[in-house]
Every structure is written in structure tokens, then in C-alpha cells.
Copies of this chain bind each other. A is one copy, B any other.
Amino acid sequence: MDRLDRQELDLMADARPLRAAVVGAGYWGPNLARNFKSGPDWELAGIVDRDLGRAAKLAAAYGVPAFESVDELLDTAEIDAVAIATPAHTHHGIALTALRAGKHVLVEKPLADSRVNGLEMVEEAEERGLVLMADHTYCYTPAVLKIRELIADGSLGEILFIDSVRINLGLVQPDVDVFWDLAPHDLSIVDFILPGGLRPLEVSAHGADPLGTGRASVGHLTFALPNDAMAHVHVNWLSPTKIRQLVVGGSRRTLVWDDLNPQQRLSVYDRGVSLDRQSRSAADQKASAISYRLGDTWSPALPEHEALAQMVAEFASSIWQQRPARTSGASGLRVLSVLEAVSMSLSADGQSSAVKGNEPQLEGSR
């Protein structure tokens, strides 16, 4: 959290805490409930689950009421916001209901099960002046916050390439492929750290289903970045070794985030290849204009904090300040748009597929 936010939060110190209910008491809901309960900005106001027993059990642990439906919640409880941690195909319906009742909404990734549904959610929130936030938790880890800062302040220079690898022996999912399961993490991080956000015109995806499960379990995804740079994402459920690594190659420095190395999560290499840009036009002099830097490596100390607590604080902050959240509904929609283009490319044998909403004429505006 940067200094400005902190200052503003201090101003808000007198404000009463906001009241949130969590919808969905399955895997992720309890984590949200715990953070709404423990932070200074929020009061937990209730738990909703179609399985009332499950809702009641979680609710009891925190001494709050349980509800069987969102309608029941909205009729009964006095709340400011709803946090949705239910299956993706239910996000659209629940979010619209909550927004139409004037509540701010936080949604687990992916924002919705289709771009068109996500777009409707974003527009509904905009019209009503409400906060719609995507729960891109990784973006609130100390490492990703630092990466965003290093790119923003020019430490890396111009981005040359991004490579993100997220592979592991994974649970083959019954309803989504490996792209929809894992790539939202990589894509939301790219959206968060790039000053211009995630706005490829088209993407190309290649996948394989060697076990014959009916959907891809190994996948590679590439798209262009501004200035002739490129991004690549490797997602894989079949790897016996676990790798979670992001490389951001820059013209000044290159950064490697190894999330499984707690002793040196982030390394910044002052090494690289550089080209004297003035000689770009003089084609025959190119080779001689390339030079190498072999400088020091630096690993910044990272604060220790729980990402989810930061995310929940940002939700409160964006409501108080009446501004889009850092991981706004719009960012969730950008991720969704890329995922839809991935599916199209996959079914077209890897052919580049246009990303809706990122048509050329719109480029640059955010």
C-alpha cells in the first residue's frame, strides 16, 4: 500500500467500518470471512450459502447470521457490500442482484463465465456508481506490489518480454481447462504490473489433452506487448515439479520472481543486451551497435503481510474514496476477454484470435 492510500485511510479513521456479507461457504469463502472479521475496516455481517448447514457452521464461528439466499440476505441484513465466492457461472446473477440493491461487490476470479456477462456487471456498477472489484489476490502480495513499483518507476526500462510459468501436478478439473483454471492468475498479474494494463489485440494458444480428459491439461499462450515485446504463459497440470516463476525482461534491468523460493523471491538483474536505438535505421550497423551489461544482482527485502488482508483493505478504500479498485471490475473483464480469445484460438488450432474490447482504435485509452 503506498503512502497516499495510507494517508487517505488515516483520514477515514473516524469512518464507521463497512459491513460485508460473504456469499459461498466453500473453499475460498472462509478466507474472505476471516479477513472481513479481522481487519479494521470491516464488520462481517453474514454468510450466505445454498447449503444452509454449511453457511451456519461458518457463521457460527464468527457469531454472525447465516442465510440461504442472497435475496434473504438483502431483505434482512444491513450491509454495504457483498463478496462472492461461488462457482463462476453464478457470479453474474448474484452480482447483478447485489448491485441493483445498491451494494458494492467483490467477485472471486474469474469475474464471470463469459465476457458478455462480465461486461454487463461492469456497466451496471458504473451506472450506479458502485465499486465492482475482482479478487485478484496475487496482485496484493508483497512481490507483485514491488514488481509493479519497479516497472512504474522505470527501474526495468522498457519491457522486452514477459514469461510466466505456473506448472504443477494439478487437480484435473471437471469443468474448466488448464487455461481457465490457472492462467487468470498470470493474466491478472500482467494486467496489474503493466502501466497500460492487459490489452492485447489478439492472442494465440496451444494446448494438449494427452490423457483424453476432454479438455487441455497443458497449455501455452502468447500475445504481443507494446513496442514489439511479447508475453508467454505456460500452464500445466501434469508437471511433477512445481514452478511458479515470472520473468519480466526490460531494457535496463530484468526481474525474476520465484514464488517458491522464500529466501530470495525477487531478483533484479542489472544485466542485459542493449541496442543503440539511433542506429536502428542503419541496418548494416546493427550488430556492432549491440552491447552487453553484466552488472550486480539485487534482491529487495519484501514486507511480510497477508495478500488477502491488503485486498480487503483496498476494497474498503476504493468504496470510501469512490474510485475504482486497483483490481477493478474492468481489470477482471480484461482477463475474461483474453480467456475467451484463448478458447477461440485453441479451437482454431492455435490461430491468433482477436480479443474483444481491445479493438485497435481503442488502444491506449483505459
Q: Does A256 contact B (CB under 8 A)?
A: yes
Given A220-B222, A254-B240: A174 touches B287 (CB 8 Å cut-off): yes
Q: Does A152 contact B (CB under 8 A)?
A: no
Residue numbers in B under 8 Å from A210 (CB-CB) = 158-161, 227-230, 251
Taking a contact as CB atoms under 8 Å apart, the answer to whether A204 and B350 are in contact is yes
In the complex, how many angstroms separate the beta carbon of A112 from the nearest chain B beta carbon? Answer: 23
Of the candidates B214, B230, B272, which one forms a contact with A218 in the assembled complex, judged by CB atoms under 8 Å apart?
A: B230
Residue numbers in B under 8 Å from A242 (CB-CB) = 263
Residue numbers in B under 8 Å from A174 (CB-CB) = 286-287
Q: Does A239 contact B (CB under 8 A)?
A: yes
Q: Does A76 contact B (CB under 8 A)?
A: no
Q: How far is the CA of A227 from the CA of B211 in the complex (A)?
A: 9
Q: Does A169 contact B (CB under 8 A)?
A: yes
Taking a contact as CB atoms under 8 Å apart, the answer to whether B290 and A211 are in contact is yes
Given A161-B236, A210-B160, A280-B212: A256 touches B241 (CB 8 Å cut-off): yes
Given A172-B290, A228-B212: A298 touches B301 (CB 8 Å cut-off): no
C-beta contact mask, A209-221 vs B, less than 8 Å → 1, else 0? 1111110011010
Residue numbers in B under 8 Å from A273 (CB-CB) = 169-170, 172, 211, 217, 237-238
Interface hits, A132-172 → B, CB 8 Å: 158-161, 163, 169-170, 172
Q: Does A115 contact B (CB under 8 A)?
A: no
Q: Does A283 contact B (CB under 8 A)?
A: yes
Of the candidates B212, B220, B286, B297, which one forms a contact with A214 in the assembled complex, judged by CB atoms under 8 Å apart?
A: B286
Taking a contact as CB atoms under 8 Å apart, the answer to whether A211 and B274 are in contact is yes
Given A206-B230, A234-B163: A271 touches B240 (CB 8 Å cut-off): yes
Given A230-B208, A298-B298: A169 touches B287 (CB 8 Å cut-off): no
Q: How far is the CA of A169 from the CA of B238 in the complex (A)?
A: 29
Given A204-B350, A228-B208, A271-B240: A292 touches B214 (CB 8 Å cut-off): no
Q: Does A299 contact B (CB under 8 A)?
A: yes
Q: How far is the CA of A169 from the CA of B349 in the complex (A)?
A: 32
Given A169-B271, A241-B263: A220 touches B220 (CB 8 Å cut-off): yes
Q: Does A122 contact B (CB under 8 A)?
A: no
Given A160-B218, A287-B174, A299-B299: A228 touches B213 (CB 8 Å cut-off): no
Q: How far is the CA of A292 from the CA of B217 in the complex (A)?
A: 14
User: Of all chain B residues, which has the CB nearest A240?
Assistant: B269
User: Of all chain B residues, which has the CB nearest A218?
Assistant: B161
User: Of all chain B residues, which has the CB nearest A290?
Assistant: B172
Q: Does A364 contact B (CB under 8 A)?
A: no
Q: Does A199 contact B (CB under 8 A)?
A: no
Q: Does A247 contact B (CB under 8 A)?
A: yes
Residue numbers in B under 8 Å from A270 (CB-CB) = 301
Residue numbers in B under 8 Å from A249 (CB-CB) = 218, 238-240
User: Of all chain B residues, which has the CB nearest A212?
Assistant: B280
Q: Which residues of A contact B (CB under 8 A)?
A: 158-161, 163, 169-170, 172-174, 204, 206-214, 217-218, 220, 222, 224, 227-230, 232, 234, 236-242, 247, 249, 251, 254, 256, 260, 263-264, 267, 269-275, 277, 280, 283, 286-287, 290, 292, 294-301, 349-352
Additional pairs, 7, CB under 8 Å, beyond known A211-B251, A220-B222, A299-B299: A161-B210, A169-B271, A173-B287, A214-B286, A239-B249, A297-B298, A349-B352
